A = this chain, B = another copy of it.
Amino acid sequence: MESKANPFERLVHALGRLPGIGERSALRLAFFILKNKPEFADDFARALQELHAKMRFCSVCQNMTEVDPCPLCQDPKRDSKMVLVIETPQDLLAIERLHEFKGLYHVLHGALSPINGVTPEDLKIKELLFRVQQQALEEVILATNANVEGEATGLYLYKILKPFDLRITRLPSGVPVGAGIEYLDPLTLQRALQTRHPF
């Protein structure tokens, strides 16, 4: 089918397969690209072509990288005793943007979700265990999302990491900066109360 359709139709088809882009949006985007300079489509095409050839996942932290191990894992200025576990590379970028955390990362590439068929074998948990066993880690921060899947994943990791001589920490749930107590959902409020700390 792909080879029979014209480039425009194939482009609409490809765009329409992206998450959150429907048929109408795909059409609109394809016309945008067609009306734009050919260089835009060329640069776009080249990035796509080189993507899988040049980008891989770091064998240590599982983040996306051009070199393995990734620059972060190779950086001598980072504290290699501390590993922050997150679900996605996007989470990693969000934390890196803070310029606050100086340890290393471990990207799970998802969260446990029996309902969607995501089991521990589908996540980079074996690789995390390997790091815990091989490297002299002092602290593992479980920063999975604060939703059902993220919580389940955090709890699962806590159980399998507990036997090791490690500090295992998590991020608190609490009042977002700028938000009022009144509007907070009861679960967050309850958890914030339970984890209150000295002023």
A-side interface residues toward B, CB under 8 Å?
2, 6-8, 10-11, 13-14, 17-21, 24-25, 27-29, 31-34, 38, 40-55, 64, 66, 88-90, 93
Of B31, B32, B51, B93, which is within 8 A of A34 by CB? B51
A17 to B31, CA, bound (A): 13
A24: which B residues are within 8 A, CB to CB? 90
A167 to B26, CA, bound (A): 36
A7: which B residues are within 8 A, CB to CB? 46-51, 53-55
Of B34, B40, B45, B66, which is within 8 A of A64 by CB? B34
A47: which B residues are within 8 A, CB to CB? 7-8, 10-11, 13-14
A28: which B residues are within 8 A, CB to CB? 19-20, 90
A55 adjacent to B41 (CB under 8 Å):
no
